[in-house]
Amino acid sequence: MSASLAKPSAGTARQPLLDTCHLVETPEGIDLVLHPAGLVPRALAFAVDLAVRGAILLLSFLVLGQFGELGLGLASLLFFLVTWWYMVLFEVLNQGRSPGKQLLGLQVVHDDGTPVGWAASLTRNLLRVVDLLPFGYTLGILSCLAHPLFKRLGDLAAGTLVVYGERPQPHPSLPEIDAQPVPFALQADERRALLAFAERRARLSVGRRQELAGILAGPLQVPEEQAEARLLGIARELMGPP
């Protein structure tokens, strides 16, 4: 009875964090971190692509319409290309990014993080026909919402994943403050949390910073209003001399 109520001790494995990171272990023994994209950015990217395709077709029909039967033939070839190959060509030749995905910062990759190839891209885009059923992408949306990695049916069959592309991170600098000794030994993830607090300091409001730092006021044996400065000092010490 009491055992089940006891808090987990510091040594036990922690709960997985509540985020959507997908870890892929590579042969080099490191974990790649992929960030699968959810329904809304994917739908937006698709809408952009739809608009681009519409514009291409409209323009070409206006131009090719001038050329009679030859133009009509070319127009239907183009229609075929744009309908069935637009996504495939862009995804394979442009690092997994159609124009819409590029705009939204998305990218299609294989499940193992490698760039999408012809076979997988063709599979996922041909099977789009089924995701469209019975109307307005219903099956695709349901599948996307139900899957932990937001895959639609085409992605399931092709073994692909839509992820956020990597973006250069801004370079936060630690505030100028004197280094202070670390009062007790820290685990790796505790050090990381502490450094993250210092690095993200500029993005937090003053109240929130004090509130967060205040949690540690007890263990650090300082008054709550000095906890933040003390934490920053420790972060400085952890980083080492610049």
Partner 1 sequence: MKQNAFERRHLAEWQDFARQLDALEHGRAGADSRHFPATYRRLCRQLALAEERGYGSRLVERLQQLALRGHRQFYRHRNPLAARCLGFLLGGFPRLVREEWRPVLAASLLFYGSLLAMGLLVYLFPELVYSLLAPEQVAQMEAMYDPDASRLGRFGERSSAADWMMFGYYVMNNFGIAFQTFASGLLFGLGSLFFLLINGLSIGAVAGHLSGIGYTDTFWPFVIGHGAFELTAIAFAGAAGLKLGWALCAPGRLRRGEALRQAAARSVRLIAGVLLLLLIAAFIEAYWSSMTFTGAPLKYAVGVLLWLLVAAYFLLAGRTRHAPE
The region that residue 111 occupies, defined by phi over 0 for left and psi between -120 and 50 for alpha, beta otherwise, is alpha
**Could you give the string, one character per residue 163-202, with x where binding to partner 1 holds by CB under 8 A and - elsewhere?**
---x--x-xx-------------xxxxxxx--xx-xx---
Q: How far is 151 from 135, CA to CA, in rounded Å?
A: 18
Contact residue for partner 1 among 20, 60, 95, 180 (CB under 8 A): 95
Cα–Cα distance list, 115 to 80, 112, 162 (Å)? 25, 9, 11
Q: Which is nearer to partner 1, 189 or 225 (CB)?
A: 189
* Six-digit token string for 157: 């069959």
Least Å distance between CB 209 and partner 1? 17
- CA torsion sign for 132, 137, 142, 143 is positive
Residue whose entry in the numeric block shows the structure tokens 């932990």: 148
Residue whose entry in the numeric block shows the structure tokens 């972060």: 235
Cβ–Cβ < 8 Å for 131, 80: no
Least Å distance between CB 1 and partner 1? 37
Residue 11 binding partner 1, by CB under 8 A: no
Q: How far is 54 from 79, CA to CA, in rounded Å?
A: 10
Residue 123 binding partner 1, by CB under 8 A: yes
Least Å distance between CB 31 and partner 1? 8
Residue 148 binding partner 1, by CB under 8 A: no
Contact residue for partner 1 among 109, 162, 220, 234 (CB under 8 A): 109
Contact residue for partner 1 among 50, 51, 59, 77 (CB under 8 A): 77
Q: How far is 237 from 181, CA to CA, in rounded Å?
A: 6
Residue 206 binding partner 1, by CB under 8 A: no
Least Å distance between CB 140 and partner 1? 11
DSSP for residue 67: G
Cβ–Cβ < 8 Å for 165, 97: yes
Tell me the window of 51-59, 68-76, 210-218, 225-233 that interacts with partner 1 (CB under 8 A). Answer: 68-76
Residue 115 binding partner 1, by CB under 8 A: yes
Residue 129 binding partner 1, by CB under 8 A: yes
3-state class (DSSP) for residue 153 = helix
Residues that bind partner 1 (CB under 8 A): 26, 28-30, 32-34, 68-70, 72-77, 79-80, 83-84, 95, 109, 112-115, 117-120, 122-123, 126-130, 133, 153, 156-159, 166, 169, 171-172, 186-192, 195-196, 198-199, 238-242
